[in-house]
Amino acid sequence: MRCSNLADAFRAAERWLLPGSCLLCGEYAGATDPLACTLCQNRWRPLPEPRCRRCGHPLSPVSPACRICPGWPDGFERARSAVWLEGTAREAVHHLKYGGWWRLAEPMAARMAAQLEGADHLLVPIPLSPRRRRLRGYNQAEALARALASVTGSRVEAAALVRRRETGTQTALTPEARMANVAGAFGVTGAIPSRRVLLVDDVFTTGATLAAAALTLLEAGASAVGAVTFARARPPLS
């Protein structure tokens, strides 16, 4: 049996085993994806224009200066998020992260792929700490990176970055305190090829974690770093 036939067989078995209702709304999903129905996916809302050209955060038409990315390291050129973290998108993030429903990464990555410019990226997921990864069994950012790679044809380098310590929640911190909180949180396992790296994560909350990971990769030899996440937290940060 060829690999694709085997994958189809597994998928058919999964469909048969699942109750046939959407994980996000509980409605019968019929012949569509049994994990996230088309209606729920259509409710995932993209971020509105105008947006910052660098970090992709929506800008106020009244005061169009971005408050998210001015402190980012040179070389961290572009970050994008597919949808707002709300409603069924928040549910999808939660099920992917805590529920073990890793195949939800497929429809999520399809939305992320639309945010990319060019395909020649090395995809690097934001790592969990070894302890958290052991407890959870897998890294949701890696699941998204692998699903994205299957759409774009890019290569995934899941072991390139390591997390030296957890950084906790940082939404209540000032931008300067966030950067200090994540400084030194990441390391590399070897030389990073001198090419464009695309960081992949599930949620962009303050951008500080992505900026710290980007700085680590740039210092290790990456020529430029971008980032893409499925969701972005709102409201705009102070």
Q: How far is the CB of 230 from Zn ion (least distance, A)?
A: 16
**Token pair for residue 154?**
């890019």
Q: Over the range 192-222, which residues count as b (16 or more CB within 10 Å of their CB) and which as e?
A: beeebbbbbbbbbbbbbbbbbbbbbbbebeb
Collapsed DSSP state (helix, strand, coil) of residue 58: strand
47 scored as a contact of Zn ion (CB under 5 A): no
- Pick the closer one to Zn ion by CB: 66 or 188: 66
**Residues in Cβ contact with 153 at an 8 Å cutoff, skipping those fewer than 6 apart:** 119
108 near Zn ion, judged by CB under 5 A: no
Measured CA to CA, the distance from residue 26 to residue 160 in angstroms comes to 38
Binds Zn ion (CB under 5 A): choice among 52, 124, 143, 200: 52
Choose the stretch contacting Zn ion; rule: CB under 5 A; options: 30-38, 73-81, 94-102, 110-118.
Answer: 30-38
Structure-block tokens of residue 197: 């790296």
Q: 182 in the Ramachandran plot: left (φ > 0), alpha (ψ -120 to 50) or beta?
A: alpha
Indicate whether 54 belongs to the interface with Zn ion (CB under 5 A): yes
Sole binder of Zn ion in the list 21, 25, 158, 162 (CB under 5 A): 25
Is 66 near Zn ion (CB under 5 A)? Answer: yes
Instruction: Pick the piece of the chain touching Zn ion (CB under 5 A) from 5-13, 33-41, 157-165, 213-221.
Output: 33-41
Strand blocks (E) in 93-147 = 122-125
Of positions 37, 161, 211, 220, contacts Zn ion by CB under 5 A: 37
Confirm or reject binding of residue 24 to Zn ion (CB under 5 A): yes
Q: Is residue 40 close enough to count as binding Zn ion by CB under 5 A? A: yes
Tell which one of 33, 35, 44, 55 touches Zn ion (CB under 5 A): 55
Q: Does 69 bind Zn ion (CB under 5 A)?
A: yes
Give the nearer residue to Zn ion in terms of CB position, either 22 or 108: 22
How many angstroms separate the most distant Cα atoms in the chain?
Answer: 60
Residue 22 binds Zn ion (CB under 5 A): yes
* DSSP run (H or E) holding 22: none
Q: How far is the CB of 99 from Zn ion (least distance, A)?
A: 15
The answer to whether the Cα torsion of 55, 60, 66, 69 is positive or negative is negative
Enumerate binding residues for Zn ion (CB under 5 A): 22, 24-25, 37, 40, 52, 54-55, 66, 68-69
